[in-house]
Chains A and B, each alone.
Chain A
């Protein structure tokens, strides 16, 4: 009897959608996107360091803002990762898997929001909207990354749902927490609370009552506000602000063009599928029609405010900074999809559109991305880290012209945080020393801009990225032995490792040099 109640046709469909999302988000998660970007590695290693020592990589005890490379990122995601790293270990799968799981939860929040919005609607139509949300390129891309923005986006969705339920105290508390999750939310969340107050005209007394928990959560920020670290990513209003703001609403950007940064986009696909333009139109019409209702006003408010941090940031069409837009956009598109499903002929069109979307996604994400974006995702640093670890008696210099290799090495080798902190020393003036630092010496590794004239005079291994490669004639002239090369799919070198031969330089390289290749 109990099972009969649970095993309904609807529940089975719901489960099927969740399972397909799980498959989509976890399939080859540790190898696609290829490599592990430094912004992911730095979050993961600092969580590992907090777990082992209670301090971050610079030796700061439980920081509020994590220095990372000088970006002073809000640290809630780092602390959130700690128990997962304790249970599942430090790996690419753990870090990305947490976000994949959170993104699935945002889908469930979206479904609940839609249920609140359209209580009389056919539940299967809502399920189809949920499936389209899971299938959206913007959702998939951010679900499969280990960035803090996905965690902040989850908090934002939760707050939006609580706002729709008019549980204001809880909503403001979550919004307040999200300011500790990612930079854009530090501006967005207070703005939402403020505009919400003016739009829905609450009594000041009630409003203050709702704000009390949110206010107490902000106490660490009030302490931080007088330090330079708090203002590292501060923005200012520019003339181009309106144009940047409009980019997030232009159909050409959201349905046709990819993000300008190849590391933040899927090749040859925009953040939404082309066909989602039509649900957006229908959904917008519905929103405009019902604009006098509270919940529709809330959607408009969220949509108009969410790109503001990205527009202020002076970056052209940075989709990661405007990730909060995904939620209001998805609600509007879901409304449009549900409207369209009322037309019988269009209903059957979805039988073609969804498989075609899966084809486009497979082509761009699972075929193009792993090869086309190897360079942008720091492919090869895992292998190099293993190689460096296998040769503890050799001295290595890695060129810092593009990558941030130290954090990748720490992550992939699970370098002891205690040992690293001892070797590097504890950073004084943690919250005021805001300079970007990439170079450093620890273990048998040195990270700096390679000075070829001087560095070839010592016996060591020089590792260059593809920004600085050499012809075979140059290699021969400097008496270097190529000991490994890591290539992309075209055969172009992503990394090259050379063993120096200072003793041969004196004899004009007169000796046979062998070479072995690392595969």
Chain B
């Protein structure tokens, strides 16, 4: 029963990821927006004169910019107010109970259900209607709470 449930959730993850992809206004991580250029220019100007050269090299590094951008994108969906906005808040207590019921065997499923949506959000951005890809994770936690009983 447990194994089937895990497989079931991994199966619904695929259409959810697809739906997330289709409803997202794609912003590839490697393309800089005008606002990001502005921020980069602003940051360079903040370095004091003796450190301007170091600042220039640091702030102009593509990897440095990509790093901050990917951090933003990684953490953006990990927001309880976003995942449990409005009436979705009713799922929160069950989500927390489910969290306390995690066993070692569940860790792989948990990892897959969390990793792929995060990866997708990182690559394509997060400007869309909802965090569809995270729904299987939330429902999985909620069901775990009941099924274990």
Chain A contacts with B in 248-268, Cβ cutoff 8 A: 249-253, 255-257, 268
Kindly name the residue among B45, B79, B84 whose own CB sees the greatest number of chain A CB atoms within 10 A: B79
CB contacts under 8 Å to A, within B83-131, are: 84, 89, 92, 99-100, 102
Q: Please name all residues of chain A whose beta carbon is closer than 8 Å to the beta carbon of B89 when the two chains form the complex.
A: 242-243
A2-10, A67-75, A217-225, A367-375 - the one binding chain B: A367-375
A249 touches B80 (CB 8 A): yes
Name the one of B46, B77, B80, B81 contacting A372, with C-beta atoms under 8 angstroms: B46
CB of B48 within 8 Å of the partner chain:
yes
A367 touches B72 (CB 8 A): no
Question: Binding site of B, secondary structure by majority: helix, strand, loop or mixed?
Answer: helix
A side interface size, CB within 8 A = 24
Q: Judge whether A274 is part of the interface by a CB distance below 8 angstroms.
A: yes
CA distance A503 to B74 in the complex (A): 65
- In the assembled complex, the CB of A500 is this many whole angstroms from the nearest CB of chain B, namely 36
B76 interface hit (Cβ, 8 Å): yes
Contact between A274 and B78 (Cβ–Cβ < 8 Å)?
A: no
State how many residues of chain B have any CB contact under 8 Å with chain A.
26
Segment 421-480 of A: residues with Cβ below 8 Å from B: none
Q: Which residues of B contact A363 (CB under 8 A)?
A: 58
Q: Report B-chain residues with C-beta under 8 Å of the C-beta of A372.
A: 46
How far in angstroms is the closest Cβ of chain A from B20? Answer: 17
Pairwise interchain contact B78-A252, C-beta atoms closer than 8 A: yes
B residues near A12, Cβ cutoff 8 Å: none
The distance in angstroms between the C-alpha atoms of A89 and B47, with both chains bound, is: 33
Q: State whether A367 and B47 are in contact (beta carbons under 8 Å apart), knowing that A246-B81, A250-B79 are contacts in the complex.
A: yes
The docked-state distance in angstroms from the alpha carbon of A253 to that of B79 is 7
Contact B75 A255 (CB under 8 A): yes
A312 to B82, CA, bound (A): 20
The answer to whether B71 has its CB under 8 Å from any CB of chain A is yes
**In the complex with contacts A367-B55, A489-B45, A243-B71 CB distance below 8 A:** no
- Taking the nearest CB of chain A, how far is it from the CB of B80, in angstroms? 4
CA distance A367 to B81 in the complex (A): 32
Q: Please tell me if B43 contacts chain A, counting CB pairs below 8 Å.
A: yes
Q: B45 to nearest A CB, angstroms? A: 7
Q: Please report B residues at the A interface, Cβ cutoff 8 Å.
A: 43, 45-48, 51, 55, 58, 68, 71-72, 74-82, 84, 89, 92, 99-100, 102
Which 7 pairs of residues, A with B, have the shortest CB-CB distance? A256-B75, A252-B79, A251-B78, A246-B80, A250-B79, A252-B75, A250-B80
Q: 16 A–B contact pairs at CB < 8 A?
A: A250-B78, A250-B80, A250-B82, A251-B78, A251-B79, A252-B75, A252-B77, A256-B75, A268-B68, A288-B100, A363-B58, A367-B46, A368-B43, A371-B46, A372-B46, A490-B45
